[in-house]
Amino acid sequence: MAKVNLLPWRAERRKERQQAFFVMLGLAFAAALVIGLGGYMYYNGQIDGQNARNAYLTDQINQLDVKIKQIEALDKKKEILLRRKDVIEQLQANRSQMVHLFDELVRTIPDGVRLTSVKQDGNKLTLQGLSQSNARVSAYMRNIESSGWMTNPDLNVIEAAGGDKALPYQFTLALTLTKPGQVLDANGQPVLGPDGKPMMNPVSGASASPASSGATGSTAASAAAPAASAASPASAASKGGATP
Protein backbone atom coordinates (compact mmCIF):
# COMPACT_ATOMS: atom_id res chain seq x y z
CA MET A 1 0.00 0.00 0.00
CA ALA A 2 1.49 3.37 -0.98
CA LYS A 3 2.58 5.77 1.79
CA VAL A 4 2.10 9.50 1.31
CA ASN A 5 3.89 11.98 3.57
CA LEU A 6 1.65 14.94 3.98
CA LEU A 7 4.06 16.83 6.38
CA PRO A 8 5.98 19.92 5.05
CA TRP A 9 9.28 18.11 4.85
CA ARG A 10 10.63 20.23 2.01
CA ALA A 11 10.30 23.38 4.08
CA GLU A 12 12.04 21.71 7.01
CA ARG A 13 14.90 20.50 4.78
CA ARG A 14 15.25 23.97 3.27
CA LYS A 15 15.33 25.40 6.77
CA GLU A 16 18.00 22.94 7.84
CA ARG A 17 20.08 23.76 4.77
CA GLN A 18 19.73 27.46 5.43
CA GLN A 19 20.85 26.94 9.03
CA ALA A 20 23.82 24.87 7.88
CA PHE A 21 24.69 27.57 5.31
CA PHE A 22 24.59 30.33 7.88
CA VAL A 23 26.67 28.23 10.27
CA MET A 24 29.29 27.62 7.57
CA LEU A 25 29.14 31.29 6.61
CA GLY A 26 29.72 32.30 10.23
CA LEU A 27 32.59 29.88 10.57
CA ALA A 28 34.16 31.16 7.33
CA PHE A 29 33.75 34.76 8.50
CA ALA A 30 35.29 33.90 11.86
CA ALA A 31 38.17 32.09 10.17
CA ALA A 32 38.72 35.04 7.79
CA LEU A 33 38.62 37.44 10.74
CA VAL A 34 41.17 35.38 12.64
CA ILE A 35 43.43 35.11 9.61
CA GLY A 36 43.10 38.84 8.93
CA LEU A 37 43.89 39.74 12.53
CA GLY A 38 46.82 37.33 12.53
CA GLY A 39 48.20 38.78 9.30
CA TYR A 40 47.68 42.32 10.59
CA MET A 41 49.50 41.56 13.81
CA TYR A 42 52.28 39.72 11.96
CA TYR A 43 52.96 42.54 9.50
CA ASN A 44 52.69 45.13 12.26
CA GLY A 45 55.33 43.17 14.13
CA GLN A 46 57.50 43.08 11.02
CA ILE A 47 57.07 46.83 10.51
CA ASP A 48 57.90 47.54 14.14
CA GLY A 49 60.98 45.32 13.90
CA GLN A 50 62.12 47.06 10.72
CA ASN A 51 61.54 50.46 12.31
CA ALA A 52 63.62 49.36 15.29
CA ARG A 53 66.40 48.21 12.96
CA ASN A 54 66.19 51.48 11.03
CA ALA A 55 66.42 53.45 14.27
CA TYR A 56 69.44 51.37 15.32
CA LEU A 57 71.13 51.95 11.96
CA THR A 58 70.37 55.67 12.16
CA ASP A 59 71.88 55.83 15.62
CA GLN A 60 74.98 53.94 14.45
CA ILE A 61 75.29 56.23 11.43
CA ASN A 62 75.13 59.28 13.70
CA GLN A 63 77.82 57.78 15.90
CA LEU A 64 79.95 57.06 12.83
CA ASP A 65 79.44 60.65 11.63
CA VAL A 66 80.74 61.88 14.98
CA LYS A 67 83.72 59.53 14.73
CA ILE A 68 84.38 60.63 11.15
CA LYS A 69 84.45 64.27 12.27
CA GLN A 70 86.84 63.31 15.05
CA ILE A 71 89.02 61.45 12.53
CA GLU A 72 88.99 64.48 10.21
CA ALA A 73 90.03 66.69 13.11
CA LEU A 74 92.81 64.22 13.97
CA ASP A 75 93.90 64.16 10.33
CA LYS A 76 94.13 67.96 10.34
CA LYS A 77 96.16 67.85 13.55
CA LYS A 78 98.33 65.12 12.04
CA GLU A 79 98.89 67.21 8.91
CA ILE A 80 99.84 70.23 11.03
CA LEU A 81 102.21 68.11 13.10
CA LEU A 82 103.76 66.60 9.97
CA ARG A 83 104.28 70.07 8.55
CA ARG A 84 105.93 71.15 11.77
CA LYS A 85 108.02 67.99 11.70
CA ASP A 86 109.09 68.70 8.11
CA VAL A 87 109.99 72.27 9.02
CA ILE A 88 111.99 71.08 12.03
CA GLU A 89 113.73 68.43 9.93
CA GLN A 90 114.48 71.00 7.25
CA LEU A 91 115.86 73.42 9.81
CA GLN A 92 117.86 70.60 11.37
CA ALA A 93 119.20 69.56 7.98
CA ASN A 94 120.01 73.13 6.96
CA ARG A 95 121.41 74.14 10.33
CA SER A 96 124.97 73.48 9.26
CA GLN A 97 124.39 74.56 5.67
CA MET A 98 124.88 78.25 6.42
CA VAL A 99 128.12 77.50 8.22
CA HIS A 100 129.39 75.56 5.22
CA LEU A 101 128.03 78.27 2.91
CA PHE A 102 129.98 81.08 4.51
CA ASP A 103 133.02 78.83 4.75
CA GLU A 104 132.74 78.06 1.03
CA LEU A 105 132.23 81.73 0.22
CA VAL A 106 135.55 82.50 1.90
CA ARG A 107 137.29 79.47 0.36
CA THR A 108 136.07 79.98 -3.19
CA ILE A 109 136.42 83.73 -3.55
CA PRO A 110 139.67 84.53 -5.41
CA ASP A 111 141.96 87.46 -4.97
CA GLY A 112 140.64 90.57 -6.70
CA VAL A 113 136.95 89.86 -5.98
CA ARG A 114 134.87 91.41 -3.21
CA LEU A 115 131.27 90.59 -2.36
CA THR A 116 128.89 93.42 -1.50
CA SER A 117 125.60 91.54 -1.13
CA VAL A 118 124.44 87.98 -0.53
CA LYS A 119 120.73 87.15 -0.88
CA GLN A 120 119.11 83.74 -0.42
CA ASP A 121 115.70 82.65 -1.72
CA GLY A 122 115.15 78.98 -0.94
CA ASN A 123 118.01 77.11 -2.57
CA LYS A 124 118.82 80.06 -4.84
CA LEU A 125 121.66 82.40 -3.91
CA THR A 126 122.33 85.75 -5.53
CA LEU A 127 125.78 87.28 -5.12
CA GLN A 128 126.67 90.85 -5.97
CA GLY A 129 130.19 92.14 -5.86
CA LEU A 130 133.13 93.92 -7.44
CA SER A 131 136.08 92.47 -9.32
CA GLN A 132 139.29 93.56 -10.92
CA SER A 133 138.52 91.89 -14.25
CA ASN A 134 136.30 89.42 -16.03
CA ALA A 135 138.93 86.72 -15.53
CA ARG A 136 138.55 87.06 -11.76
CA VAL A 137 134.80 86.42 -12.08
CA SER A 138 135.46 83.41 -14.31
CA ALA A 139 137.88 82.00 -11.74
CA TYR A 140 135.29 82.58 -9.06
CA MET A 141 132.67 80.66 -11.09
CA ARG A 142 135.11 77.75 -11.57
CA ASN A 143 135.74 77.66 -7.82
CA ILE A 144 132.00 77.59 -7.20
CA GLU A 145 131.60 74.67 -9.62
CA SER A 146 134.27 72.72 -7.73
CA SER A 147 132.59 73.43 -4.39
CA GLY A 148 130.37 70.75 -2.90
CA TRP A 149 127.86 73.24 -1.44
CA MET A 150 127.26 75.51 -4.44
CA THR A 151 126.61 74.68 -8.06
CA ASN A 152 125.34 76.03 -11.41
CA PRO A 153 126.77 79.57 -11.25
CA ASP A 154 125.01 81.87 -13.70
CA LEU A 155 126.50 85.27 -14.43
CA ASN A 156 123.59 87.67 -14.90
CA VAL A 157 125.30 91.05 -15.08
CA ILE A 158 128.90 92.25 -15.32
CA GLU A 159 129.60 95.85 -16.13
CA ALA A 160 132.14 98.54 -15.50
CA ALA A 161 130.96 100.48 -12.48
CA GLY A 162 133.86 102.87 -12.19
CA GLY A 163 133.29 103.60 -8.52
CA ASP A 164 136.44 101.85 -7.31
CA LYS A 165 139.51 101.99 -9.55
CA ALA A 166 140.97 98.87 -7.91
CA LEU A 167 137.72 96.96 -8.52
CA PRO A 168 136.14 98.58 -11.57
CA TYR A 169 133.73 95.78 -12.56
CA GLN A 170 130.40 95.11 -10.87
CA PHE A 171 128.78 91.68 -11.29
CA THR A 172 125.66 89.78 -10.24
CA LEU A 173 125.99 86.02 -9.91
CA ALA A 174 123.16 83.51 -9.33
CA LEU A 175 123.84 79.99 -8.13
CA THR A 176 122.10 76.99 -6.52
CA LEU A 177 122.76 75.75 -3.01
CA THR A 178 123.29 72.02 -2.72
CA LYS A 179 124.96 69.41 -0.56
CA PRO A 180 127.82 67.06 -1.37
CA GLY A 181 126.39 63.96 -3.01
CA GLN A 182 122.92 65.43 -3.60
CA VAL A 183 121.22 64.34 -6.84
CA LEU A 184 120.36 67.29 -9.11
CA ASP A 185 118.30 67.45 -12.29
CA ALA A 186 119.24 69.21 -15.54
CA ASN A 187 118.12 72.57 -14.13
CA GLY A 188 120.21 72.17 -10.99
CA GLN A 189 117.19 71.51 -8.78
CA PRO A 190 117.34 68.78 -6.10
CA VAL A 191 115.67 65.54 -7.15
CA LEU A 192 113.05 64.54 -4.56
CA GLY A 193 112.52 60.93 -3.58
CA PRO A 194 109.19 59.15 -2.90
CA ASP A 195 109.24 60.49 0.65
CA GLY A 196 109.50 64.08 -0.59
CA LYS A 197 113.07 64.48 0.61
CA PRO A 198 116.07 65.25 -1.62
CA MET A 199 117.76 62.16 -2.96
CA MET A 200 121.38 61.58 -2.08
CA ASN A 201 123.97 59.77 -4.14
CA PRO A 202 124.67 56.30 -2.64
CA VAL A 203 128.37 57.08 -2.82
CA SER A 204 127.93 60.55 -1.38
CA GLY A 205 130.35 59.75 1.42
CA ALA A 206 133.03 58.79 -1.06
CA SER A 207 132.29 61.61 -3.50
CA ALA A 208 131.97 64.33 -0.88
CA SER A 209 135.59 64.23 0.20
CA PRO A 210 137.03 64.50 -3.35
CA ALA A 211 134.69 67.42 -4.05
CA SER A 212 135.68 69.22 -0.91
CA SER A 213 139.34 68.37 -1.36
CA GLY A 214 139.12 69.47 -4.98
CA ALA A 215 137.55 72.74 -3.89
CA THR A 216 140.23 73.20 -1.27
CA GLY A 217 142.97 72.30 -3.71
CA SER A 218 141.67 74.64 -6.41
CA THR A 219 141.38 77.53 -4.00
CA ALA A 220 144.50 76.79 -1.95
CA ALA A 221 146.69 78.62 -4.43
CA SER A 222 144.48 81.72 -4.36
CA ALA A 223 143.51 81.58 -0.67
CA ALA A 224 146.91 80.67 0.84
CA ALA A 225 148.93 83.52 -0.67
CA PRO A 226 146.48 86.40 -0.11
CA ALA A 227 145.34 85.26 3.35
CA ALA A 228 144.79 88.81 4.48
CA SER A 229 142.80 89.66 1.35
CA ALA A 230 140.64 86.54 1.84
CA ALA A 231 139.79 87.76 5.31
CA SER A 232 139.03 91.27 4.08
CA PRO A 233 136.39 90.10 1.51
CA ALA A 234 134.66 88.16 4.27
CA SER A 235 134.53 91.25 6.45
CA ALA A 236 133.51 93.33 3.45
CA ALA A 237 130.70 90.91 2.70
CA SER A 238 129.43 91.18 6.26
CA LYS A 239 129.75 94.98 6.23
CA GLY A 240 128.18 95.22 2.82
CA GLY A 241 124.85 93.94 4.17
CA ALA A 242 125.09 90.23 3.49
CA THR A 243 121.59 88.90 3.93
CA PRO A 244 121.61 85.09 3.73
How many CB atoms sit inside 10 A of residue 12's CB? 10
Specify the CATH number of the domain 97-239: 3.30.1360.100
- Averaged pLDDT, 86-111: 80
Distance of CA 158 to the CA centre of its chain: 40
pLDDT band at 27 (very low <50, low <70, confident <90, very high): very high
pLDDT band at 189 (very low <50, low <70, confident <90, very high): low
Q: What is the pTM assigned to this prediction?
A: 0.42
Average pLDDT, the chain: 75
Give the whole-angstrom CA distance, residue 234 versus residue 109.
9
pLDDT at 241 over 80: no
Residue that wins the pLDDT comparison between 187 and 82: 82
| pLDDT tens for each residue of 201-216 | 554 433 333 333 333 3
For 122, left (φ over 0), alpha (ψ -120 to 50), or beta? left
Give the whole-angstrom CA distance, residue 13 versus residue 236.
139
CA-nearest of 222, 140, 144, 132 to 170 is 132
**What is the sign, positive or negative, of the torsion defined by CA atoms of 58, 63, 68, 73?**
positive
Q: How far lies 28's CA from each of 24, 159, 178, 192, in Å?
A: 6, 118, 99, 86
Q: Distance between the two ends of the chain, CA-based, in angstroms?
A: 148
Give the whole-angstrom CA distance, residue 244 versus residue 241.
9
pLDDT band at 184 (very low <50, low <70, confident <90, very high): low
pLDDT at 191 over 80: no
